[in-house]
Amino acid sequence: MDNPIGITDALSNSSTFDYDELSRLIQATDPKNRVTQFDYDDLNRLVESEDAIKGISSQGFDAEGNRELLSDAHEHKTQFHFDKNGRLVQETEATSDKVRYTYSARDLLESVTNGRNQKRQFAYDAVGRLKSWTDPDGTVSYTYDANGNVLTVTDASGTITREYDKLNRVTKYTDTQNHTLQYEYDEVGNLITLTYPDGKAVHYEYDAADQLVKVTDWGNRETRYAYDKNGRLISTLRPNGTQMTRVYDDAGQLKQQKDVLIATGEVISQFDFSYDKAGNITQELLIPPPQPPQFTVPTNMTYGLSNRLVTYNEEAVQFDADGNMIRGPLSGNMANFVFDSRNRLVSAGETAYHYDAENQRIGVNQTQYVINSQPVLSQVLVRTKGNGEVTYYVYG
């Protein structure tokens, strides 16, 4: 087998790899000459790795081949328990918090019980699609089209609806507050128009490599993007007269990012980075230099198992059985935090948070948000404050 025995980047930083007679990786040496070693069992399963500072991570398996134990370099252990059919029935964290699972006769997940003993139960349709689930915070239900696309998601906050084209792309999205977003695509699936609930539209243009090169909003404000031959972003021209540029080294590492006012050349901000041989940032220079934080009182913190914060200025920090911090620091003082059975933060001190059926945060106190749920990370498109002030957001 042709296993790679070394890699050298454009800056002549080299990593090497060693294998045993079964072609299993047993040692890796990085450009800083740090060695990680690997060990396997008789079934060729990785069971242990030892890093350069002798930290050992390991995993163990039961007689059926299920992974039953994970242990990190700090000896924090997570245990997994399986039934006779090889299905995970319990997960025990290093903190002794447990999550339990049950299954139906159709081998579908039937319930999950969290560390706080709150149970979520699942129901399915005849073809095994999730029809609904219920937990202490209510019921979430789903409907589908003939292609299996989710049409509606409903809970106590309302119904989210989606419409699709013949290629199963979302063309219309309506949230629980009856705000509708519309999407148009080109022939290869790139988004070319996003229409906001009040009809404002943002248009997107792409080059031959399908790289985004221009975004134009409803006010004809343009943002332009340029890339190098490797597809890396090197310039962003904004409609407010500023430009962001990026410079990379031969290994593709970001060396500099600078924002300037085009008319005068004034530097708004600049970041310069230096790296070690392993690609870790060793120095970051900022223009203008950052101002040190001003602390009105000394801050002392201690940590315990799983790197959890234990005390803050001599006061105990508390967590629930699912690992959520329920009392801890907020703006320099101690505050209470409340999480629902879905591990969503519903209040922090005097601030309340609101969510839709897909766990998107749609409100904070009296402020409401319109969310674009299509990207991998959801985006806030519109923010409406309690006094009626509206702010729009555009993304490239």
In angstroms, rounded to a whole number, what is the distance separating the alpha carbons of residues 289 and 267? Answer: 12
How confident is the model at residue 382, as a pLDDT?
98
Q: What is the pLDDT of residues 15-49, one digit of tens each?
A: 999 999 999 999 999 999 999 999 999 999 999 99
What would the mean pLDDT of 81-85 be, rounded to a whole number?
97
Does pLDDT of 226 surpass 80? Answer: yes
Residue 104 CA neighbour count, 13 Å, CB half: 12
- pLDDT band, residue 114 (cuts 50/70/90): very high
Does pLDDT of 295 surpass 80? Answer: no
Does pLDDT of 298 surpass 80? Answer: no
Domains and CATH numbers, the chain: 1-75 (no CATH), 221-297 (2.40.128), 301-392 (no CATH)
Q: What is the pLDDT of residues 307-340, one digit of tens each?
A: 889 999 999 999 999 999 999 999 989 999 999 9
Q: What is the pLDDT of residues 184-210, one digit of tens each?
A: 999 999 999 999 999 999 999 999 999
Q: What is the pLDDT of residues 133-168, one digit of tens each?
A: 999 999 999 999 999 999 999 999 999 999 999 999
Residue 13: count of CB within 10 angstroms of its CB: 17
Does pLDDT of 89 surpass 90? Answer: yes
* 18 within 8 A of 27, measured Cβ to Cβ: yes
Mean pLDDT of all residues belonging to the chain? 96
Residue 316 CA neighbour count, 13 Å, CB half: 2
How confident is the model at residue 94, as a pLDDT?
86
In angstroms, rounded to a whole number, what is the distance separating the alpha carbons of residues 322 and 96? Answer: 10
